[in-house]
Amino acid sequence: MHPAMTIDTGNTGFMLLCTSLVMLMTPGLAFFYGGLVGRKNVLAIMIQSFVSMGWTTVLWYAFGYSLCFSGDVGGVIGNLDKAFLNGVDLMSPSPINPTIPMIVFIAYQMMFAIITPALITGAFANRVTFKAYMLFLTGWLVFVYFPFVHMIWGGGFLAQWGVLDFAGGIVVHNIAGMAALASVLIVGKRRSKDAGPHSIPLVALGTGLLWFGWYGFNAGSEFRVDAVTASAFLNTDIAASFAAITWMIVEWMTTRKPKFLGLLTGAVAGLATITPAAGYVSPTAAVMIGIIAGLVCFMAVMLKNKLKWDDALDVWGVHGVGGALGIVLLGVFADSAFNPAVGTNGLLFGNTHFFGKQVVAILFSSVWAFGFTYIMLKLINLITPVRVEEGDEITGLDVALHGESAYLEDSI
> pLDDT tens digits, residue range 332-343?
999 999 998 887
Whether pLDDT at 376 is above 80: yes
Gap between the Cα atoms of 270 and 250, Å rounded: 14
**Helix, strand, coil share of the chain (percent; to 5):** 70, 0, 30
Look at residue 101 and give its three-state secondary structure: strand
pLDDT-based confidence at residue 1 (cuts at 50, 70, 90)? very low
Within 86-223, residue ranges assigned H as helices are 102-120, 130-140, 146-153, 157-161, 175-187, 200-219
Query: Residues of the chain with pLDDT > 70: what percent?
Result: 98
Architecture label for domain 9-402 = Orthogonal Bundle (1.10)
Query: Residues of the chain with pLDDT > 90: what percent?
Result: 81
- Sort 253 into a burial class: Cβ within 10 Å, 0-12 / 13-18 / 19+: exposed
DSSP state for residue 389 in the 8-state scheme: P
Q: Please, which residues have CB within 8 angstroms of residue 226's CB and are 6 or more apart in sequence?
A: none
User: Tens digits of per-residue pLDDT, 296-327?
Assistant: 999 999 998 898 888 888 898 999 999 999 99
Rg (CA), the chain: 20
Q: What's the distance, CA 172 to chain centroid? A: 4
Lowest-confidence region among 83-87, 331-335, 391-395: 391-395
Tell me, what's the pLDDT at 341? 87
Tell me, what's the pLDDT at 124? 86
How far apart are the two ends of the chain, measured CA to CA in Å?
61
Whether pLDDT at 192 is above 80: no
User: Tens digits of per-residue pLDDT, 104-154?
Assistant: 999 999 999 999 999 999 888 888 999 999 999 999 999 999 999 999 999
pLDDT-based confidence at residue 4 (cuts at 50, 70, 90)? low
pLDDT-based confidence at residue 411 (cuts at 50, 70, 90)? low
Average pLDDT over residues 3-9: 79
Tell me, what's the pLDDT at 294? 96
Tell me, what's the pLDDT at 338? 92
Gap between the Cα atoms of 354 and 265, Å rounded: 30
Tell me, what's the pLDDT at 410? 53
User: Tens digits of per-residue pLDDT, 16-28?
Assistant: 999 999 999 999 9
Tell me, what's the pLDDT at 388? 86
Answer yes or no: pTM beyond 0.85: yes
